Structure 1
Amino acid sequence: MSDKVDHLNIIESAITRMAGNSLQIKCWCLTIVSAAIVLSRSVIIVACVLPVMLFCYLDVNYLSLEKAYRNLYDEVRQKDESEIDFSMRFTPVPKIISFKSWSVWLFYLSMAVLLIAVSLINYLW
């Protein structure tokens, strides 16, 4: 294999890990929200809003890293074979760009709204 293909495979494995970590964070968040709703105590449900925000922050971090590695992939893809140095240095992507992704704000906002709605229903019931 050529050096360029090897370097692209290394970067692709980092992208895959970041995407997998992002999925795992969403799964853990959904598990915690489901457990809080099943327990159906207003205090527990409201207390779970903080972990949802923390999971959101972690997910934004992983998504930012994933985008940075995608940009690195594009840079390496455009280089000549002689320029390949197997560097994994990338230009960071601002987290606000990752937060604007619908896969982040829609998921975590719906989890927070669901927790607050169930808490209010339990409180009023």
Structure 2
Amino acid sequence: MMKPEQAQLWAEMHMKHLEMLQGVITRMAGNSASLKNYCMTISAAIIGLAAAISRPEILYYTTPLIFIFGILDGHYLRLERAFRDQYNSVRRSGIKECPDFSISPSWTAGHGIFSGLFSWSVWLFYISLIVVFLVIAVLMPG
């Protein structure tokens, strides 16, 4: 039988563990949003540069850069999902056992390498940006 003080202490420890995991999840989501922001900023600067020097072919060469941002964004989304799974696992665990304070992504949920990359929030954003780049490159006088 667990003493009431021990049960209260372990409940508080579970809450702290969940707070720590929530902090990691929040950072992953923030990093993903920052990558989209950086990609948009760099893309706007490259479009401005291409227009200023009348060289639309520059836009074709920056497509790999957009792909790299997309891959990084997909990786952060994959990590965020894996940490959410660990959060849910800790949340479901009872207070009868002492938490181990492990903070590592849970890869048991089938989060493959490309699972984040093929999310609509990643591919739709970056593919749309590439299409915009290509349309501007075709329409830009040079």
TM-score by length of 1: 0.91
- Which protein shows a greater Rg? 2
2:75 maps to which of 54, 61, 66: 61
Secondary structure of the residue that 1:2 maps to in structure 2? helix
Q: Is the 8 A contact 1:19 1:66 kept in 2?
A: yes
The equivalent residue for 1:31 is 41
Is 1:85 equivalent to 2:100 in the alignment? Answer: yes
Q: How many residues align?
A: 124
Match of 1:97 in 2: 115
Using the aligned pairs only, state the percent identity: 35
SS in 1 for 2:91: helix
Q: CA deviation at 1:96?
A: 2.1
Residue 109 (structure 1) aligned with residue 127 (structure 2): yes
**Ranges in structure 1 where 5+ consecutive residues have no aligned partner:** none
1:9 aligns with 2:19: yes
Q: 2:12 and 2:106 mapped to 1: Cα distance? A: 25
Please tell me the residue identity of whatever aligns with 2:103. Answer: M
TM-superposed CA distance for 1:115, in Å, is: 0.7
After TM superposition, which residue ranges in structure 1, 4 or more long, deviate above 2 angstroms?
A: 89-92
| Separation in 1, partners of 2:140, 2:61 | 14
Letter in 2 for 1:91: S
Which has the larger helix fraction? 1
Q: 1:52: Cα distance to partner?
A: 0.3
Q: Cα RMSD over matched residues? A: 1.5
Alpha-carbon separation, structure 2, partners of 1:25 and 1:90: 21
| Residues 15-24 or 83-92, more deviating | 83-92
TM-score by length of 2: 0.81
